[in-house]
Amino acid sequence: MRRLTDRVRRQAVIDRVRSVSRGDAGMSTAEYAVGTVAACGFGAVLFKVLTSGFVEHLVESVISRALHFGF
DSSP sequence for 3-58: HHHHHHHHHHHHHHHHHHHH---S--HHHHHHHHHHHHHHHHHHHHHHTSHHHHHH
0.85 exceeded by pTM: no
What are the tens digits of pLDDT across the range 13-63?
887 777 666 665 666 788 889 999 999 999 999 999 989 999 999 999 999
What is the C-alpha to C-alpha distance for residues 46 and 52, in angstroms, rounded to an integer?
10
What is the C-alpha to C-alpha distance for residues 17 and 9, in angstroms, rounded to an integer?
12
Domain boundary assignment for the chain:
24-71
